[in-house]
Amino acid sequence: MLKVAVIGTGFIGSVHAKNIAIHPGAQLISVCDASPEFAKRAAKATGAEAVTDAGQIFENKEVDAVLIATPTNTHVDYLKRASKAGKAIYCEKPIGLDYHEAEQAVEAVRIAGVPVMLGFNRRFDASHAAVKRAIEQGEVGKIEIVQLTSRGPQPPPIDYVKVSGGQMRDQTIHFFDLLRWLTNDEPIELYATGAALVSAAIGDAGDVDTSIVSLRMASGALCQIDSSRRAAYGYDERIEVFGSEGLAESRRQNFRGMALYKGRSIVEDGLHPGWFERIEQSYYAAFDAFVQSVNQGTIPRPSLEDGLKAQLIADAATESLKTGQPMKIV
The domain spans of the chain are 2-122, 123-281+310-328
Q: Which residue has the higher pLDDT, 101 or 178?
A: 178
In this predicted structure, the answer to whether residue 57 has a pLDDT above a threshold of 90 is yes
Q: Which residue in 117, 113, 164, 124 sits closest to 314, CA to CA?
A: 164
**What's residue 133's pLDDT?**
98
Rounded CA-CA distance 113/224 in Å is 36
Condensed to tens digits (0 to 9), the pLDDT of residues 206-244 reads 999 999 999 999 999 999 999 999 999 999 999 999 999
Condensed to tens digits (0 to 9), the pLDDT of residues 285-321 reads 999 999 999 999 999 999 999 999 999 999 999 999 9
Share of the chain above pLDDT 90, in %: 98
Condensed to tens digits (0 to 9), the pLDDT of residues 256-274 reads 999 999 999 999 999 999 9
* 327-328 β-sheet, strand order: 247-250, 236-243, 143-151, 222-228, 210-217, 187-195, 327-328
Rounded CA-CA distance 179/148 in Å is 8
State the CATH class of domain 123-281+310-328.
alpha beta
State the CATH class of domain 2-122.
alpha beta
* Stretch 177-192: mean pLDDT: 98
In this predicted structure, the answer to whether residue 330 has a pLDDT above a threshold of 90 is no
* Stretch 68-77: mean pLDDT: 95
